[in-house]
Amino acid sequence: MANPNEVPKYTQLFINNEFVDAVSGKKFPTINPATGKVIAEIAEGDKADVDLAVAAAKKAFHRNSAWRKLSPLERTALIEKLCSLMERDKYILASLETQDNGKPFTSALGDVMFAIMSLKYYAGWTDKFFGETIPGGDFVVQTRKEPIGVAGQIIPWNYPLVMLAWKWAPALAVGCTIVLKPAEQTPLTALHMAALSKEAGFPAGVINVIPGYGPTAGAAISEHHDVQKVAFTGSADIGRIIMQAAAKTNLKRVTLELGGKSPFVVFDDVDVDKAVQLTHDAIFPNQGQTCCAGTRTFVHEKIYEEFVKKSVALAKARKIGNPFETTTTHGPQIDEEMMNKILGYIEIGQKEGAKLQCGGKRAGNVGYFIEPTVFSDVTDKMRIAQEEIFGPVMSILKFSDIEEIIDRANDVEYGLAAGVITNDINKATKFANNVNAGSVWINCYNAVMPQAPFGGFKQSGIGREMGRDGLNNYLETKTITTKIV
């Protein structure tokens, strides 16, 4: 069950199947955003530790290693064992996640289950990435899909466990080895997962976890010459730094899952109450800290006034409080810096002329809570309609026809997701086919599934995670040509 006092058992770096202190001996605090209090002191990895972890991962990837000698079905069994241990420890994992991240416990438990689903999905892929036989006349031409090697993985704090599962699952399925850096705000569940991976039986060096800061530990991963691929989820600014680091060093492969400013379009032929609920659920869960959140709600002018009124009522009904209480639906933002950044955007929105309908302030003075906030009368060029806020701020814009709305929906630098609510199949299809977004949801939102590729157009990223596409990030194609003599 939920345990607000769950004490993290693992606070050191995880290298070569052992928990160890940082070479520097340094530690950093991880803080509960609901209380502002330190939960634990965590070993702080940097370059020296990343070097050790990469060396262990490289050794574990050697062609004669225990890991490389496993059959595909043995890799499946290890991933499935890890899933069953997560199931056993689900309340521990969720309790750690809620303490570290602040999300309501029921959401944290949902995240554990989604992480398990993602790992299970890829557990079935270990023997299903095929090469081809290609006609070559007097030659037999074949391709083989091979694991890329040591994979560096740098993840954010908004869905710590889910992001870890999205990174580990395809890498393990194809036989890569891993050096993962969790976000400095949320290292706890990654360390617990490290312990579970050892218990499941993954050979030493296959999985390494190095908590630490971005410019030190993160940079050491993205600059390392023995890391063949880096998978990153986070902000576009850091995505650029990581790509540069890869380009300047060994041209490691890079996949990036970055921010968004996703449009969610509501036509006037819909059940307004249902649409209000859908658009509310597209932005407010996880306190608005979701990269694909529907942050630009475009509502048809015929239903605009009613829609705004009902959206405000729903936002006001969110229950802010201790995330361990079962009635709480709205927890704190991740840290003070993010809270202040969001409050700054709310101020900008008001100065730009958007109408603050509700919320807008910090809630209480303990922890980093912000009242669910709704702006109406938002226009396209306002900063709150262009830039990622990453907080509980709904911006409602008005539109009148399909052609106009497609252009406006596309008029941002991002392209992660989009949604449309209508009963008109022509409008829905036209919108879905023309919007620049990696995922388009029709009459639903945030319907993210392990089997469906996820990723961004434009500055929302490079590459796709999940689904069959997600495997390719961890594979190289080798062409083998045999002359028939």
Please tell me which residue in 44, 97, 257, 371 is annotated as part of the active site. Answer: 257
- Minimum distance from residue 356 beta carbon to ligand ADP (Å): 25
Q: Is 349 in the site for ligand ADP (CB under 6 A)?
A: no
- Dihedral sign, Cα of residue 113, residue 118, residue 122, residue 124: positive
- The residue behind tokens 């702080």 is 44
Q: Is 242 in the site for ligand ADP (CB under 6 A)?
A: yes
Q: Is the CB of residue 142 less than 8 Å from the CB of residue 134?
A: yes
Nearer to ligand ADP, 218 or 331 (CB): 218
Q: Is the CB of residue 28 less than 8 Å from the CB of residue 208?
A: no
Nearer to ligand ADP, 8 or 211 (CB): 211
Nearest residue relative to ligand ADP (C-beta): 214
In the list 235, 277, 340, 386, the residue contacting ligand ADP (rule: CB under 6 A) is 235
DSSP string, 296-350: EEEEEGGGHHHHHHHHHHHHHT--BS-TTSTT--B---S-HHHHHHHHHHHHHHH
Compute the C-alpha angle 391/392/398, nearest 5°.
110
In the list 104, 175, 187, 214, the residue contacting ligand ADP (rule: CB under 6 A) is 214
Total residues contacting ligand ADP by CB under 6 A comes to 17
In the list 29, 201, 215, 344, the residue contacting ligand ADP (rule: CB under 6 A) is 215
- Minimum distance from residue 445 beta carbon to ligand ADP (Å): 21
Query: Using CA atoms, how far apart are residues 215 and 340, in angstroms rounded to an integer?
Result: 22
Query: Using CA atoms, how far apart are residues 4 and 258, in angstroms rounded to an integer?
Result: 31
Give 3-state DSSP helix, strand, coil % of the chain, rounded to 5.
Answer: 40, 25, 40
- Minimum distance from residue 78 beta carbon to ligand ADP (Å): 26
In the list 222, 279, 328, 422, the residue contacting ligand ADP (rule: CB under 6 A) is 222
Q: Residue 132: is it exposed, middle or buried by C-beta count within 10 angstroms (0-12/13-18/19+)?
A: exposed
- Phi-psi bin for 137: left (phi > 0), alpha (psi -120 to 50), beta? left
- Minimum distance from residue 226 beta carbon to ligand ADP (Å): 17
Q: Is 218 in the site for ligand ADP (CB under 6 A)?
A: yes
What character string, x for contact with ligand ADP (CB under 6 A) and - otherwise, covers 131-170? -----------------------xxx--------------
With H, G, I as helix, E, B as strand and everything else as coil, classify residue 179.
strand
Nearer to ligand ADP, 29 or 215 (CB): 215
- Minimum distance from residue 256 beta carbon to ligand ADP (Å): 10
Active site residue 18: no
In the list 183, 246, 256, 409, the residue contacting ligand ADP (rule: CB under 6 A) is 183
Q: Residue 270: is it exposed, middle or buried by C-beta count within 10 angstroms (0-12/13-18/19+)?
A: buried
With H, G, I as helix, E, B as strand and everything else as coil, classify residue 63.
coil
Nearer to ligand ADP, 218 or 463 (CB): 218
Q: Which residues bind ligand ADP (CB under 6 A)?
A: 154-156, 181, 183-184, 213-215, 218-219, 222, 234-235, 238, 241-242
Residues that are catalytic: 257
